[in-house]
Amino acid sequence: MPIYTCTIAESTFSAETKRALAGEIARIHSSITHVPSAYVNVAFHELAADGLYTDGVPASPVLVAGWVREGHPADDTTRLATEVSTAVAKICEIDVERVLVVIQPSPARFAVEGGRVLPEPGQEQAWLAES
Amino acid sequence: MPIYTCTIAESTFSAETKRALAGEIARIHSSITHVPSAYVNVAFHELAADGLYTDGVPASPVLVAGWVREGHPADDTTRLATEVSTAVAKICEIDVERVLVVIQPSPARFAVEGGRVLPEPGQEQAWLAES
Amino acid sequence: MPIYTCTIAESTFSAETKRALAGEIARIHSSITHVPSAYVNVAFHELAADGLYTDGVPASPVLVAGWVREGHPADDTTRLATEVSTAVAKICEIDVERVLVVIQPSPARFAVEGGRVLPEPGQEQAWLAES
């Protein structure tokens, strides 16, 4: 259901690091939203050295944008962003100052997976049972 | 006006498939939102094999995120996501289980194309007439 | 705080152009939202020639999507999109008809930077003072 997109400068993370981070994001998302980790997607966009800027100069922030279904309790969404931020810093062994995590929700009824409209938060069980 | 972003593992789709899918998304968007297909943008982000994960393991979902102007009837937006999902499975000849389509609207007045602020849904004709 | 993502066909902009545009976007964002330019991120996604379509045919629009904190005055957000659009056309020396800028806000409390939840618009000073 969710899509987490990590934008980084190329060669910032090894394949092992990316895999470990993807696994940890899946675990965090699942634990907070009650969606099985099997539904958590993580994509890494690795940009050329002249493709990423902060304050107009080349930089290497780690930018994570997550799409989730709208309607989770706001505190849970804040916790999601916080825990993902902590995971990035720890697993990737970078200063948390370089990490920006942003959650961008939109309505579940505006999303389709496996041919079916996604369930509203809290109504996952019936949807999953039909899978 | 809209931007559809398809994130896939590299070499998943041929150039012909991408072009056909871009055309079908343009047709679907135009038929539902009454915007000429000439305004429909589709971008393909093709990631390295170690750039895309589901459940913490390398995977090859087809992730489509669409930006559209806020304010279309909700049912139309659901239909947009459903029809794009169906089109991806059919044109790309993949199992619909691999396809996730997400529509993320924001206000038309927060978007500028051709130097002009975009029209609210339902007010396209006057805007287009001035083009 | 904000993330501006520019999606373009590869080789559309030189490294110098990208850097100049990133600097100008940082300046514009800072002047309108009262956030220091040091917090403005700009990422360039450069796609292969068969990766970008308008109306179902290969094309070379310049697509800019900006994430900002929700709650800025709507007029300011419109101005942000307008000024970024003008900057792209001028700095990149392209027809403004090719430029689409979209701002997609979500709540500040859904975003974490440097380990801290971002401040609501208007409450930046206290947040910055703690940095």
Domain range for B109 is 3-130
Once rounded to an integer, what is the mean pLDDT over residues C81-88?
Answer: 98
Q: Residue B26: enclosing H or E segment and its boundaries?
A: helix B15-33
What is the structure's pLDDT at A34? 86
Task: Check pLDDT > 90 for residue B129.
Answer: yes
Quickly state the pLDDT bin for C131 (edges 50, 70, 90): confident
Task: Check pLDDT > 90 for residue C7.
Answer: yes
User: What pLDDT digit, counting tens, does each position of A41-95 carry?
Assistant: 999 999 998 999 999 999 999 999 999 999 999 999 999 999 999 999 999 999 9
CB count within 10 Å of CB C58 equals 15
CB count within 10 Å of CB A117 equals 18
E strand intervals along C1-131? 3-9, 41-47, 52-54, 57-58, 62-67, 99-103, 111-113, 116-117
Amino acid at B87: A
Supply the angle between the helices B74-91 and B15-33 in degrees, to the nearest 10: 160
Per the prediction, chain C carries an average pLDDT of 97
Task: Check pLDDT > 90 for residue C72.
Answer: yes
CB count within 10 Å of CB B116 equals 15
What is the structure's pLDDT at C34? 86
Determine which of A112, A117, A127, A131 to mutate to test the interface with B (most B C-beta atoms within 10 Å): A112
What is the structure's pLDDT at C49? 87
**Alpha carbon distance A63, A45 (integer Å):** 10
User: What pLDDT digit, counting tens, does each position of C32-64 carry?
Assistant: 998 999 999 999 999 998 999 999 999 999 999
Residue in the block written with tokens 């009824």: A109
Contact B51, A17 (CB under 8 A): no
B128 min Cα distance to partner chain C (Å): 13
CB contact under 8 A, A102 and C117: no
The three-class DSSP label of residue B34 is coil
Bridge partner residues of C62 (DSSP) = C99
CB contact under 8 A, C102 and B110: yes
**Burial class for A125, CB neighbours closer than 10 Å (0-12, 13-18, 19+):** exposed
Interface size, chain A vs chain B, as Cβ–Cβ contacts under 8 Å: 116
ipTM of the complex: 0.96
Q: Residue B84: enclosing H or E segment and its boundaries?
A: helix B74-91
Once rounded to an integer, what is the mean pLDDT over residues B83-100?
Answer: 97
User: C-alpha distances in angstroms, A84 versus A94, A110, C19, C106?
Assistant: 13, 24, 29, 17
User: C-alpha distances in angstroms, A70 versus B66, B79, B103, C85?
Assistant: 16, 18, 12, 29
Task: Check pLDDT > 90 for residue B8.
Answer: yes
Once rounded to an integer, what is the mean pLDDT over residues B69-73?
Answer: 97
Contacts of B102 in chain C (CB under 8 A): none
Radius of gyration of chain B (CA): 15
Bridge partner residues of C66 (DSSP) = C4, C103
Tokens, residue C22: 């990133």
Q: What's the gap between Cα C106 and its chain centre?
A: 14
Burial B59-84 (b: 16+ CB within 10 A, else e): eebbbbbbbbbbebeeeebbbbbbbb
Radius of gyration of chain C (CA): 15
Query: pLDDT exceeding 90 applies to what percent of chain B?
Result: 96
Tally the domains of chain A. Answer: 1
What is the structure's pLDDT at C37? 98
Once rounded to an integer, what is the mean pLDDT over residues B89-109?
Answer: 97
Quickly state the pLDDT bin for A125 (edges 50, 70, 90): very high
CB contact under 8 A, B103 and A113: no
CATH number at residue B62: 3.30.429.10
Task: Check pLDDT > 90 for residue B34.
Answer: no
